[in-house]
Amino acid sequence: MQKRKLGKSGLEVSALGFGCMGLSFGFGPATEKQHAIHVIRAAHDGGVTFFDTAEAYGPYLNEEVVGEALAPVRDQVVIATKFGFEGGRPNAGLNSRPENIRAHAEAALQRLRTGRIDLLYQHRVDPNVPIEDVAGAVKELIAAGKVGHFGLSEAGVQTLRKAHAVQPVTALQSEYSLWWREPEKEILPALEELGIGFVPFSPLGKGFLTGAINETTEFSSTDFRNVVPRFSVDARKANQPLVDVLGEIAGSKNVTRAQIALAWLLAQKPWIVPIPGTTKLHRLEENLKAASVTLSAEDLRAISDALAGIEVQGARYPAHLQAHVNR
């Protein structure tokens, strides 16, 4: 797989990363440990060198699985993790106090079985802690050799600028896909200006863009999508035209909807690195093949024109979580 650099940082990773969250958190019961390890190793065998986890995925369980899975190839991969919730539990509220950042880093190093976290993100902006203090704490960890690079997740432009002035930000991780294009307004221009890479999560719309989900799909009782307005039955029905159009485009190029969605992201900027995740080996293989799908300028115009008249219905987060994004 081709490599990309995250902005001007010099951090080089595979063009597609692997989002490990769904193996342990968010989409129903955690995957059996040995299968999760097998999927992660299969991703590496397929050319992936960039793996994304967080203390909140479990909590802690995902970091442990990632650490065990990648221990044999640790010197060949880039591992990213995140801090920012009280006790690693999103429902317990935010905590980005410097002492908590340091405590997370020390514990994460053990769980990840490594001497250095390659990329450490603040998971969500904490309004009770100045972003300059957050950046300063990570800067100290970088100086100590415990962290390689600093990242933010779902941060707004002004927060990004303030943090970057204290400790250069290597990457911003936020949602971006064919059904959530809001970052194009302010985020992408700011990232280009500052030389910061972009790591889109949910590049397949939490599965919706693959065509595997429709209005009759029933999710596990512990699946996060049950509380997401965009995944209500009415919203799924209303958003089906987007999936239908993607299917037509994919069919014309003899690829899948998922491959078109990922190839489209890769074509936007050379410093964008999507991190699709999956628990299924056949989906992993499908996703990785997207890195070889080339979309011409004509293809991109055709996709843009085909989707121009479709307005996606439903908020991407419930109200209590929406307050945590784009701060």
pLDDT at residue 45, rounded to an integer: 98
Active site residues: 57
CA–CA distance, 154 with 325 (Å, rounded to integer) = 5
> What topology is assigned to 3-322 in CATH?
TIM Barrel (3.20.20)
- Alpha-carbon distances, residue 204 vs 13, 25, 107, 243, 290 (angstroms): 20, 17, 31, 11, 12
The 10s digit of each residue's pLDDT in 186-216 is 999 999 999 999 999 999 999 999 999 999 9
Q: Report whether the peptide linkage leading into residue 59 is cis, meaning its omega lies within 30 degrees of zero.
A: yes
10 φ/ψ sector (left φ>0, alpha ψ -120 to 50, else beta):
left
The backbone torsions φ and ψ at residue 88, rounded to the nearest 5 degrees and listed phi first, read: 75, 15
Rounded Cα gap, residues 119 and 53, in angstroms: 10
Residues 208-235, buried b or exposed e (16+ Cβ, 10 A)?
Answer: bbbbebeeeeeeeeebbbeebebbbeeb
In contact, 66 and 35? CB cutoff 8 Å: no
Among 132, 125, 206, 192, CA closest to 162: 132
DSSP codes of every residue in 103-144: HHHHHHHHHTTSS-EEEEEESS--TTS-HHHHHHHHHHHHHT
**Span 12-38, pLDDT tens digits:** 999 999 999 999 999 989 999 999 999
Task: Say which DSSP state 183 is in.
Answer: G
244-287: per-residue pLDDT in tens? 999 999 999 999 999 999 999 999 999 999 999 999 999 999 99
How does residue 47 score in pLDDT terms, banded at 50, 70 and 90?
very high
Residue 66 tokens read as 């990632």
pLDDT at 323 over 80: no
Residue 78's beta-bridge partner residues? 50
Instruction: Yes or no: say if 196 and 169 are a contact pair by the CB < 8 Å rule.
Output: yes
pTM score, two decimals?
0.97
Q: What share of the chain is helix, strand, coil (3-state, %, to 5)?
A: 50, 15, 35
Domains of the chain, residue spans: 3-322
Q: Residue 92 pLDDT more than 80?
A: yes
